[in-house]
Amino acid sequence: MSGVFLTFEGIEGSGKSTQIRRLSAHLHTCGVDVVLTREPGGTDIGRALRRVLLSTEGEPPHPSTELLLYAADRAQHLSEVIEPALERGAVVLCDRYLDATLAYQGYGRELGVDRVLELHAAPPLDRRPDRTLLIDLDPEDGIARARARNRDLGLEAEEGRFEAEQIRFHQKVRAGYLELAGAEPGRFRLISGDGTEEEVEARVLSAVTDLWPSLREISR
């Protein structure tokens, strides 16, 4: 028995974390065995890595260090959480995955897609999602939303490194995501992040109702 591996991607403030939580709740209501998780930080080791990666103190990591730490987080996450859940037939909803490394480190930090993919060629890192929902938003809107959220949560000092990046960086990341989606139309669903949470949710649901027809009732 093999489950379904669904990932959510998008720039900061795209609303993907809100949407993945909503989808998880709907699937749960429909009686589906759902595992909601995220990268970085889906395991104890991953949470320690997340603190290192998103800290604003001291020297920022070298782009190669950053790449290897995201891959380390993913290797642990796959072996400890994702693969066991898929083996028992669960639906794994993951907030960011390999496409985030391709977009942020490959395109944003300009390490290149090939270098990222090479690192993900062997087990456990060779697992690919069954479907990826890319919530697309203009970086100016996304950063404004992410800043407001971090202020509300008091996260500015701890998790602010990426939000403090230049808008140009986020534009490279967005362009990277769009290129990845264009190259794999079978796996990706491109969803506009514009509008209210409810409007985006309706788009998310219609992007997965072929997998779970019972969600059609909710999206009405």
Tokens of 138: 């203009």
39 lies in the binding site for ligand TMP (CB under 6 A): yes
104 lies in the binding site for ligand TMP (CB under 6 A): yes
12 lies in the binding site for ligand TMP (CB under 6 A): yes
Work out how close the CB of 63 gets to ligand TMP at its nearest, in angstroms, rounded to a whole number: 10
Is the Cβ–Cβ distance between 98 and 128 less than 8 Å?
Answer: yes
Q: Distance between CA atoms of 129 and 4, rounded to whole angstroms?
A: 8
Kindly report the length of the chain. Answer: 220
Q: Which is nearer to ligand TMP, 32 or 81 (CB)?
A: 81
**Among 5, 70, 107, 177, which residue sits at the site for ligand TMP (rule: CB under 6 A)?**
70
Q: Distance between CA atoms of 186 and 10, rounded to whole angstroms?
A: 18
Applying CB under 6 A, the site for ligand TMP has a residue count of 11
Among the listed ranges 36-44, 77-85, 182-190, 211-219, the one in contact with ligand TMP (CB under 6 A) is 36-44
**Among 3, 13, 15, 40, which residue sits at the site for ligand TMP (rule: CB under 6 A)?**
40
Tokens of 145: 């939303």
Within 8 A by CB and 6+ apart from 129, the residues are 5, 6, 7, 94, 97, 98, 187
Binding mask 161-190 for ligand TMP (x = CB under 6 A): -x----------------------------
Cα torsion at 214, 23, 42, 174 (round to 10°)?
Answer: 120
Work out how close the CB of 113 gets to ligand TMP at its nearest, in angstroms, rounded to a whole number: 13
80 exposed, middle or buried (CB, 10 Å; 0-12, 13-18, 19+)?
middle
Work out how close the CB of 214 gets to ligand TMP at its nearest, in angstroms, rounded to a whole number: 28
Residues near ligand TMP, by CB under 6 A: 12, 38-40, 70, 96, 100-101, 104-105, 162
